[in-house]
Amino acid sequence: MGVIGKRVAYYPGCSLEGAARSYDVSTRIVARELGLELDYLEDYNCCGAMESKNVTFMGTMLLNARNMSLARKQGHSVIVAPCNGCSFSLQRAEYFLETDKAVFDKVNALLREGGVDALDQIPQTYHILEWFYHEAGPHKVREKTRKPLRGLKVANYYGCLYTRPHFYARTYAHAGGQEEGVRPRRRETADDDEHPYYMNALLEAAGATSVEFEPMHTQCCGGPHSLSDEMVSEKFVMMILQTAKRNGADIIATECPLCHASLEMYRHRLMMKGVPDVDVPAAYFTQLLGLAFGYGANDVKLKDNLSDPLPVLRRLGLA
């Protein structure tokens, strides 16, 4: 443990400054409690998420390279992103910049032209969950817990892009077919690729109980199509919520603002349609950790969650 660094560049992403404010606030609380330091990436831009990459390849590389360049300017070689989409985009750019020399040179030339410093080194991007687990870990969470989440049954929802694809997230050692030089290596801090457990471990250390949630813990929520392809997203979210409910979960813990928004939006729509067993509320795992560390419901902005987890938490005496 302790291989990523206690002080890192923090790339919150657009969502966390608006609708997912609660995730940002609670993340800062948890980081402070665990003795870690987030250095806000000044003047960042959107990573392009899952949408821009379908329209333009080079444009998306540039968007992410600009953020990397800003992180280098602030003296960091590690970026931490709390959003699956953002960490995916940055890791994707990292992969192409590392493996394709032509892309790297072109991006650097364009960065200089756009008034940003060229990249002297490519910073590594980690998901915030990986960072928490490796820099603080369950024992530190246990140490800091003042109000254990006793009796709370949590379904840990990781979403797609936290462990996938292994080319970008570096969760798996083997990548057949690729040439030796460009074959990605497993990162020693990476989570298990098919059975991620970091969130389970952290929340269990805080006193919660994880329910059986495979294989829905990494099932897609509709993601980039949650607005453009409503039927498919609705079905996927229904499968996730029903599995959680039928496995006895009180709450779904999320770690991505996109998944969270998608779950909450379709939960409401499914309930309007009268679909059974979909009324599990969702909360960010940092909110739950914040509660365990003794913060109040208003400190971690539980009111912001449209799925309203407050009644469940009140019933268990946790908020």
Partner 1 sequence: MAIHERSLVEPERILRKERLVVDGVDISGDWNLIILPRVINDYDLDFAKEIVNSPDGKTINQCYQCSYCTASCPVHNYWDERYNPRHFIYLARLGMIDELQKRADVMWRCVSCHKCTHRCPKGVLVEEVLKVILRTMAKKGLIDEYPSKKFDKFFTESVLEYGRIEDGELLFGWIEKQGYKVFKDPILKKPIPFIGETPEWLKQLTIKPLKSMNIDFLVLNAKHMLFHPKTKNWSKFKQVLRRVMQEEGALH
> Which residues, 245 to 274, sit near partner 1 by CB under 8 A?
261, 265, 268-269, 272
The residue within the footprint of partner 1, chosen from 78, 225, 299, 316 (CB under 8 A), is 225
- Residue 297 binds partner 1, judged by CB under 8 A: no
Would you count residue 176 as binding partner 1 (CB under 8 A)? yes
Would you count residue 167 as binding partner 1 (CB under 8 A)?
yes
Return the range that interacts with partner 1 (CB under 8 A); candidates 112-120, 133-141, 144-152, 243-251. 112-120
Least separation in angstroms between CB 199 and partner 1: 18
Rounded distance between C-alpha atoms, residue 283 and residue 150, angstroms: 16
By beta-carbon proximity to partner 1, the closer residue of 7 and 303 is: 303
Distance, in Å, from the CA atom of 68 to the CA atom of 188, rounded to the nearest integer, reads 22
Chain center to CA of 143: 24
Least gap, CB of 277 to partner 1 (angstroms) = 17
**Binder to partner 1 among 126, 172, 293, 295 (CB under 8 A)?**
172
Nearer to partner 1, 21 or 142 (CB): 21
CA-CA distances (angstroms) from residue 117 to 52, 68, 73, 107?
23, 10, 8, 11
- Mapping DSSP to helix (H, G, I), strand (E, B) and coil, where does residue 67 land? helix
Q: Does 301 bind partner 1 (CB under 8 A)?
A: yes
Could you say whether residue 306 binds partner 1 (CB under 8 A)?
yes
165 binds partner 1 (CB under 8 A): yes
CA-based nearest residue to 46, from 60, 58, 25 = 60
* Residues 51, 55, 58: CA angle, nearest 5 degrees: 105
Residue choice 32, 37, 98, 114 for contact with partner 1 (CB under 8 A): 114
Question: In the bound complex, what is the minimum distance in angstroms from residue 206's beta carbon to partner 1?
Answer: 25
User: Please, what is the minimum distance in Å from the beta carbon of residue 282 to partner 1?
Assistant: 14
Which parts of the chain fold into alpha helices (H)?
Answer: 21-33, 52-55, 57-73, 84-99, 101-113, 128-135, 137-144, 166-169, 198-205, 230-246, 257-273, 285-292, 310-315
Which of 5, 159 has the CB closer to partner 1? 159
Question: Which span (135-143, 161-169, 199-207, 283-291) binds partner 1, by CB under 8 A?
Answer: 161-169
Q: Using an 8 Å Cβ cutoff, are 50 and 221 in contact?
A: no
* Cα 191 off chain centre by: 13
> Cis omega (within 30 of 0) on the bond before 224?
no
Least distance (Å) from partner 1 to the CB of residue 146?
A: 26
